[in-house]
Amino acid sequence: MIRYNLWLDPENKAQHRAVEADLERYFIDRFADYPHIRLFGADPYDYDSPFNRLYEALIVRADDYCQRQWCYVPTPIQLNQAFFRAVGRSNKFLRDG
């Protein structure tokens, strides 16, 4: 069963853009709750690294937030893109090297 709003109503671009912008703000606000986080490290596929654990937890919370706040079910791609746009705009992440 299709449940993603983007797929159910692709023509409602204003709503999709508004939700995506709000998701990005949501992630930036959540990053403020954490100390500086080192991006990746020696192994970017280390699922126990702080960055990867944070990603997993915040994606689940953001999905729940969208459904409660907007009555909107975002696609995994919308969540992922908003998360990484927020990472790019945030000063909370440190890069190795």
How high is the pLDDT of residue 7? 96
53-94 pLDDT, tens digit each? 889 999 999 999 999 999 999 999 999 999 999 998 998 887
Q: What are the φ and ψ backbone dihedral angles of 95, each rounded to 5 degrees? A: -100, 145
Residue 74 to residue 71: CA distance in whole angstroms:
10
How high is the pLDDT of residue 46? 67
pTM, two decimal places: 0.86
Residue 93 to residue 87: CA distance in whole angstroms:
7
Q: What is the mean pLDDT of residues 42-55?
A: 72
18-39 pLDDT, tens digit each? 999 999 999 999 998 888 777 7
Q: Domain locations in the chain?
A: 11-95
